Amino acid sequence: MRICPTCRTQYTDDTLRYCLQDGAALVEQLASDTPTVAFNDERETVERIAQTSSRSRVTTPDDEELTRVAVADKTSSRLLAVVIAVLGTLLVVVIAGALGTWLYLKDGDKATISSNSTNVNVNGRLSGNSGANLPTPIPSLSNTPTSPPLPPATPRIDNEHGQQEVSQTVYGWKAMAESKDLDRYMANYADTIDYYNHSGASRSYVRSDKSRAFEMYDLIRVDLSNMNVSFDESGNTATATFDKEWDFQGPRNSSGKVQTQLKLRNINGDWRIISERDLRVYYTR
């Protein structure tokens, strides 16, 4: 047992070296020393204080490890926060750069379109579908002959009278073939004709083809039936559809029946053939 020489407090714990009351060094109690009486609650209080003081002064390896882990976690959290902030900044810079590039290219496209539109207005007239402006190509100069433009057509108002005129022209065309009068026959044609499979043929081309037929046969007979005449909206172009039956006699006879279509245009008051073709072949011999 140990005792405090100052306050005479006795301690049964042999591990204590100093008094818990005044901090004086404890000494061994002799047998002759008068014991100091301590109540149970005082002893318990002294023991709790001693245990608390002992625990507060001792640092175990586990405590040090926990401290290091806590510090490391705190450092890692700060580093993670810094990395996130840097990545966020880079992302904002990339997005801003991409947006700026897109706006620049968009403005460039608008400028190009505006420039093209200006060139179209200068070089040619505007045309296109659904409101789109498209340049009309400038025709290149070449030696290819072009068909002369047709004379302006004379307006027609009375379609009934026009049907009579067209019918008379078609029957006159048929009569000139039977008489083999090539000059008067060719007077029924315009300067340019869509002649069967030959589009945009000249009158001289048609004359050459008809001349061979007139020379080949001694007798030409043509019958027309089922005549139908219609007009376009302007009334200046007529379409005559009819059945044509022929019988040609000569060194080599020919006969047959077809459905023929003639298109005629009113040119200076006269109906002229601008298209000739067969729509249907009934028979040929």
The CATH code of the domain that includes 240 is 3.10.450.50
- Both 180 and 86 in a single domain? no
Indicate the range of 104-108, 127-131, 208-212 predicted with least confidence: 127-131
- Both 64 and 52 in a single domain? no
Per-residue confidence at 212, pLDDT binned at 50, 70, 90?
very high
Containing structural domain, residue 40: 2-57
**Residue 140: per-residue pLDDT:** 44
**Residue 13: per-residue pLDDT:** 75
**Residue 28: per-residue pLDDT:** 76
Q: How many domains does the chain have?
A: 3
- Both 27 and 67 in a single domain? no
- Both 170 and 269 in a single domain? yes
The reply to whether 170 falls in a domain is: yes
**Residue 103: per-residue pLDDT:** 76
**Residues near 49 by beta carbon (within 8 Å), at least 6 away in sequence:** 20
- Both 279 and 166 in a single domain? yes
- Both 278 and 207 in a single domain? yes
**Residues near 247 by beta carbon (within 8 Å), at least 6 away in sequence:** 219, 221, 253, 254, 255
Domain final residue, candidates 70, 92, 114: 92
**Residue 80: per-residue pLDDT:** 82
**Residue 51: per-residue pLDDT:** 57
Quick one: average pLDDT of 104-132?
47
Give CA angle at 121 (120, 122), nearest 5°: 90
Quick one: average pLDDT of 5-9?
80
Whether the pLDDT of residue 156 is over 60: the answer is no
**Residue 17: per-residue pLDDT:** 74
Whether the pLDDT of residue 279 is over 60: the answer is yes
The reply to whether 124 falls in a domain is: no
Domain final residue, candidates 92, 110, 143: 92
Indicate the range of 6-20, 205-219, 248-262 predicted with least confidence: 6-20
- Both 11 and 80 in a single domain? no
Considering only residues 283 and 106, tell me which one the structure prediction assigns the higher pLDDT. Answer: 283
> How many other C-beta atoms are found inside a 10 Å radius of the C-beta of residue 169?
19
pTM exceeding the 0.85 threshold for the entire prediction: no
Per-residue confidence at 45, pLDDT binned at 50, 70, 90?
very low
- Both 168 and 51 in a single domain? no
Q: Whole-angstrom distance between the N-terminal and C-terminal Cα of the chain? A: 155
- Both 75 and 188 in a single domain? no
